[in-house]
Amino acid sequence: MSTLCVPSQVPSVAEDCEQLHKAFSGSIGWGTNEGLIISILGHRNAAQRKLIREVYAETYGEDLLKSLDKELTNDFERVVMLWTLDPPERDAYLANEATKRWTSSNQVLVEIACTRSPKELLHAREAYHVRFKRSLEEDVAYHTSGDFRKLLVALVSSYRYGGDDVNLILAKSEAKLLHEKICEKAYSCDDVIRILSTRSKAQINATLNQYKNEFGNDINKDLKADPKDEFLSILRSTVKCLVYPEKYFEKVVRLAINRRGTDEGALTRVVATRAEVDMKIVKDEYQRRNSVPLDRAIAKDTNGDYEKMLLALIGHEEA
C-alpha cells in the first residue's frame, strides 16, 4: 500500500552520504543539486533514511537535517525535511507545531492520534519527550480548552488494543449509548469520549456498523446536526480517522488542491506521512472520488523541485 519506489539495487549508505554531500556543495557556480537529493532521499525507506542520517553525521560532523535546512528553501525544503525525519520524530514535530498553532479547526492532532497504530502513537509520544522535554499530553492540555481539551487529551493519551477481536454485545450496547447521547446533543459527554478514545479500531468499527444497522444513518451523518459547530467537525474527523483513514486523507488532499491557492502545508504533510503507509489506497480513493489521477492533480497544482519530490513519493514514474 506504500507508493515509495526503492531501487532493487541500493547503493551503500556511505555512497548515498557522499552523493548527498556532493549535492550540497555542488560544482563551482552551480549550487545545490536538487535532482540528486530527490533521486536519493525520495527513493529510500525509513530504515535506510535513518542510517543515512547516522552515517552522514559521523562522516561530515553535521546532522543531515541541518545541511538540508541550509541548502533548501520553501515547500521543497519542508517536504524533504519532513520525509527525512524518522516517522515517530516526524509525528512529534507535527504534533508540537499543531499544539503551538492550535485553533479549533486544526485537525492534525486528531490525525496523528487516530490514524497511527497504538505502537506508532506511543513511539511518537516518546519522541516528543526526547525532542521537547515535555509530554505531548501536557502541551495539548495547555494549548486547548473546554470540550476540545477533553477530547484531544484523551485521544493523544490513548494506548488502544490493536487486535481484531470484537465484542458484538458491547458493540450493540455502545451503539445504543452513542445514539442516545447524540439525540440529546451531549456530544462531549464522558461516554462519547470514552468510547472514541479507548476502544480498539476494530471494536469502534463494529459499534458504528451496529449504529447504522440499528438507527439507519452513518454516525457522521448524525454528527452533522450543525455544520458550523467545530467540535462536531473534529468528532467527525475522529470517527473518519479511526475507521476510514483513506477517506479522511483523500479529503484533506482534495481540499488542499482545490482551494484557491494550494494548501501546501496539508498536501506536504499527507504525502510525507502516508507514502510508506497507505498512499496507494489514498490515490485510488482520490481517483474514484475526482475522476483524475492524484499525480496529475499534483503536477497541475505544484511546480519545480517541490512537485518532483511529491511525485517521487507517490510513486509517479517519469515517462
Tens of pLDDT along 117-169? 999 999 999 999 999 999 999 999 999 999 999 999 999 999 999 999 999 99
DSSP 165: -
Tell me whether residue 78 is in a domain. no
Q: In this structure, are 222 and 255 located in the same domain?
A: no
First to last CA, the chain: 22
Q: What's the CATH number where 253 sits?
A: 1.10.220.10
The angle at the Cα of 112, spanning 147 to 301, to the nearest 5 degrees, equals: 110
Give how far Cα 175 sits from Cα of 164, 206, 208, 248, 259, Å: 18, 9, 6, 22, 36
Structural domain contains residue 189:
yes
Total domain count for the chain? 4
Residue 45, number of CB atoms within 10 A of its CB: 13
Tell me what pLDDT residue 227 has: 83
Question: Are residues 147 and 94 part of one domain?
Answer: yes
- Judge whether 123 lies within some domain: yes
Q: Are residues 234 and 173 in the same domain?
A: yes
179 and 148 within one domain: no
Q: How crowded is residue 125: how many other Cβ atoms within 10 Å of its Cβ? A: 21
Residue 3 lies in a domain: no
Whether residues 224 and 281 fall in one domain: no
* Enclosing domain of residue 99: 87-157
Residues 46 and 28 placed together within one structural domain of the fold = yes
Kindly state whether residue 282 falls inside one of the protein's structural domains: yes
- Which of 128, 157, 186 is at the close of a domain? 157
Residues 239 and 176 in one domain: yes
Residues 255 and 282 in one domain: yes
Of 210, 243, 276, the last residue of a domain is 243
Considering the domain architecture, whether residues 97 and 141 belong to the same structural domain is answered as yes
What averages of pLDDT result for each successive group of 10 residues across the chain (319 residues)?
94 97 72 93 97 97 95 95 98 96 90 98 98 98 96 98 98 98 96 98 98 97 91 97 97 89 89 98 97 96 96 83
Binning the chain into helix, strand and coil, the percentages to the nearest 5 are 70, 0, 30
The reported pTM is 0.95
User: Quick one: 97 and 140 in the same domain?
Assistant: yes
| Residue 217: all three cell numbers together | 444513518
Measured CA to CA, the distance from residue 132 to residue 111 in angstroms comes to 20
> Domain end: 72, 97, 114, which one?
72
Residues 52 and 19 in one domain: yes
Residue 31 is predicted with a pLDDT of 77
Q: For residue 81, is it within any domain?
A: no
pLDDT at 28: 44
Quote the pLDDT of residue 319.
Answer: 40
Cα–Cα distance for residue pair 108/91, rounded to 1 Å:
10
Does 7 map to a domain? no
